Amino acid sequence: MGIFSVYIVNKAGGLIYQYDHNSQRTEIEKTFSYPLELVLKTFDEKVMVAFGERDGIKVGHTVLSINGIPAEGKYLQDRRDILEVLNDETNYPINIKFGRAKLTANEKLMLASMFHSLFAIGCQLSPEQRSSGIELLETDTFKLHCFQTMTGIKFMVITDPKQTAVDIFLKKLYEVYSDFALKNPFYSLDMPIRCELFDNNLQLAIEQAERLGVSNI
């Protein structure tokens, strides 16, 4: 719990670092008989539940595997089309695993640049002078904190809605970034960060923030 993930975005909107912390995602496996009582659709190249809920399977969950064969996008690993398999009565009874899909590297890139533009629009639509972009976004399941440095780097942290002291963590993150990425002579600016020291220190900062955030509640 506490801190879910960290994104670092350069000034052009490119994702240069991403880390998922504590990602425990629910997965539900169930054997179905024909016909399937769930309405499925393809969304983002995945097969997703559009309507209908059974035994913890929720709208928005994707098909993760069928009869133990993992899904890759709209297809199973053996190249069969998932929707076709599920529409064929002869394949039943069938065992399907559902869950919230993990974000792929590509989707993370896309989401980072999406937030980059939302940040700018939030500033443009401000009813008040001299506004920044979006600094805190609240939903019922998480909070997104964003800190933009003077140089235009954005640090985005996704946390539990109850996590506190995220501001301190963001400052710490900036320090870690300048110490272990920027000061590393082999790191080139605005490029993806691949430094072990950075990883380790980020990890430490997260653990510290979670302890701090919890003790403050």
Partner 1 sequence: MTIYNFYVFDRNGTCLYYVDWNRRKQSGMSADEEYKLMYGMIFSIKSFVNRISPTDVKDGFMSFKTSQYKLHFFESLSGLKFIMNTDLNVGNIRDNLKQIYSTIYVEYVVKNPNCELDKQITSDLFRTKLDDYIKGLPFFAAKVS
Partner 2 sequence: MSRQSARGTDIRKVNGELFTLTYGALVSQLMKDYENDEEVNKQLEKMGYNIGVRLIEDFLARANSNRCNDFRETADIISKVAFKMYLGITPVISNWSPSGDEFSLLIENNPLIDFVELPEGHSSLNYSNILTGVLKGALEMVQMDVDVKFVQDQLKGDNLTELRLKFIKRLEDAIPAGED
Nearest to 148 by CA among 119, 178, 182: 119
- Scanning residues 126 to 145, which ones bind partner 1 (CB under 8 A)? 126-142, 144
Nearest to 6 by CA among 179, 204, 150: 204
Query: Binding mask 144-183 vs partner 1 (x if CB under 8 A, - otherwise)?
Result: x-------------x-------------------------
- Burial of residue 141 (number of CB atoms within 10 Å: 0-12, 13-18, 19+): exposed
Contacts with partner 2: how many residues (CB under 8 A)? 13
Q: Find which of partner 1, partner 2, none residue 39 binds, CB within 5 to 8 Å per kind.
A: partner 2
- Near partner 2 by CB under 8 A: residue from 12, 25, 30, 52: 52
Count of beta carbons in the 10 Å neighbourhood of residue 212: 16
What tokens does 46 get? 């995945």
Interaction of residue 41 with partner 2, rule CB under 8 A: yes
Which of these segments, 57-65, 86-94, 178-186, 187-195, binds partner 1 (CB under 8 A)?
57-65
Which lies closer to partner 1 via its Cβ, residue 25 or residue 30?
25
What tokens does 203 get? 């990890």
Query: Binding mask 136-175 vs partner 2 (x if CB under 8 A, - otherwise)?
Result: ----------------------------------------
Are 101 and 72 a contacting pair, CB within 8 Å?
no
Contacts with partner 1: how many residues (CB under 8 A)? 41
Interaction of residue 111 with partner 1, rule CB under 8 A: yes
| Minimum distance, C-beta of residue 117 to partner 2, in the bound complex (Å) | 11
Written as one letter, the residue type at 122 is G
Written as one letter, the residue type at 162 is K
Question: Using CA atoms, how far apart are residues 192 and 156, in angstroms rounded to an integer?
Answer: 15
Interaction of residue 51 with partner 2, rule CB under 8 A: yes
Q: Would you give the distance in Å from CA 138 to the centre of its chain?
A: 15
Are 30 and 55 a contacting pair, CB within 8 Å?
yes
Name the site residues for partner 2 (rule: CB under 8 A): 34-37, 39, 41, 50-54, 58-59
